[in-house]
Amino acid sequence: MAKVLVGLSGGVDSAVAAALLVEQGHEVAAGYMKNWINQEGIPGDCPWEQDIEDAHSVACKLGIEFRVIDLIDSYRERIVDYLVEGYRSGITPNPDVWCNREMKFGIFLDYALEQGFEKVATGHYARHREANGMAQILRGADPNKDQSYFLSLMTRRQVEHALFPTGEMLKPAVREAARRFDLPVAGKKDSQGICFLGQVKMTDFLSHYLEDNPGEIVNTEGKVMGNHRGLHFYTLGQRKGHGVASPREAMAYVVVGKDVAKNQLIVGWDSADSGELYTAQCMVGAVSAINEPLDCMRLIEAQPRYRAKAEPAMLEPVDGGRLSLKFERPQRAIAPGQVCAFYDGGRLLGGGVFESTSP
């Protein structure tokens, strides 16, 4: 049995994770990570007060110690600043993946180890395994809820200290377990917002930190098609809201690129034949390898975004610890700044951040 600090968020998944660990006989305490309280008054719903109350009620029900751990300054430095500066520079960051690496299994894990805990547990739908003396992450048992993608930038050390008690379960079974344990959050709806920011529109969030920076919208031939508010408001593959009317739905204009130096938003056709939005070869940096080095050419399965299908791709190390990734089939709207997760079947190998793409 281990001494475990559970990251109790106020939701049903982490509550069931805590209950399962108590049932299994572990020495369990709960910690609520107080990361964001929306002091800036950004429009949106950030129910942190209700979440603390719900998390505390779960801990009381289970008879375990409850702590509120103030990580607001670290969250602003490691996640909010990263998010804002990423959009300012023209990339599309993924705060949820970085939040797991930098906060839940970064600052929070460091705190847990300093306090004498051996493991940190969360309600992620992923499976933890020990094989050949190494900790591994497998896809969650529920294919509709699998969250291993969001863990792809974790380090080997972080994985060694992680537990995912609900990863072996399907979501309906988690709800049933919550009722069996008579947890006060058994009927609470799942959170759909950005990691710890809650239900806030990204445009509203960015508007608070970044001023509008209007510029031209051009097509791939350089013809001016209109004007944009600021490159940070647009994403690759965006079909609506860019301000350029399409001649017909079958040939819709979409965002295919950003020229940061010229402050130009580039639109083109959403067609695999055009090659404007689809790419097969990418450069990946900020690489994390979970339990084996990614230091030789090999065929893997690469998942370029959360809800995308993992596709066969040839991985090849290049200079500076970066990787060249060549998909067997061109992928749509791969954006610099987004995270790509690497798999060997159902086993998570690690991941990295897209730096550049080639048609």
Quick: pLDDT tens for 269-287.
877 666 678 899 999 999 9
Tell me the per-residue pLDDT of 111-121, one tens digit each, with 9 for 90 and over.
999 999 999 99
Classify each residue of 324-349 as buried b or exposed e, where b means 16 or more C-beta atoms within 10 Å of its C-beta.
bbbbeeebebbbbbbbbbbbeebbbb
Res 239: pLDDT: 87
Residue type, 330: P
CA separation, residue 250 to residues 34, 253, 267, 270 (Å): 47, 10, 15, 9
In terms of domains, do 48 and 196 share one? yes
Same domain assignment for residues 352 and 307? yes
Q: Which pLDDT band holds residue 43 (cuts at 50, 70, 90)?
A: very low
CATH of the domain at 140: 3.40.50.620
pTM of the shown model = 0.92
Mind telling me the catalytic residues? 99, 195
Domain boundary residue among 181, 203, 225? 203
CATH number (domain holding residue 226): 2.30.30.280
Give the end of a domain, one of 152, 180, 203. Answer: 203
Question: At residue 304, does pLDDT exceed 70?
Answer: yes
Give residue 328's domain range: 278-358
* Same domain (yes/no): 233, 335: no
Domain shared by 250 and 286, yes or no:
no
- For residues 140-162, give the mean pLDDT: 97
305 and 247 in a single domain? The answer is no
82 plus 146 within the same structural domain: yes
In this predicted model, what pLDDT tens digit does every residue of 169-196 receive, in sequence order? 999 999 999 999 999 999 888 876 566 5
Note whether 108 and 245 are same-domain residues.
Answer: no
Single out the residue of 5, 1, 2, 124 nearest to residue 64, CA to CA.
5
Of 72-76, 138-142, 257-261, which one has max mean pLDDT? 138-142
Q: Residue 42: what pLDDT? A: 55
pLDDT for position 203 = 79
User: Is there a single domain that holds both residue 102 and residue 121?
Assistant: yes
In this prediction, what percent of the chain has a pLDDT beyond 90?
Answer: 72
The tens digit of pLDDT for each residue in 315-326 reads 999 988 899 999
Residue length, the chain?
A: 359
Residues 176 and 254 in one domain: no
Q: Are residues 121 and 198 in the same domain?
A: yes
Q: What is the pLDDT of residue 359?
A: 62
Q: Are residues 70 and 122 in the same domain?
A: yes
Domain boundary among 203, 225, 260: 203
- How many C-beta neighbours within 10 Å does residue 109 have? 21
Number of domains, the chain: 3
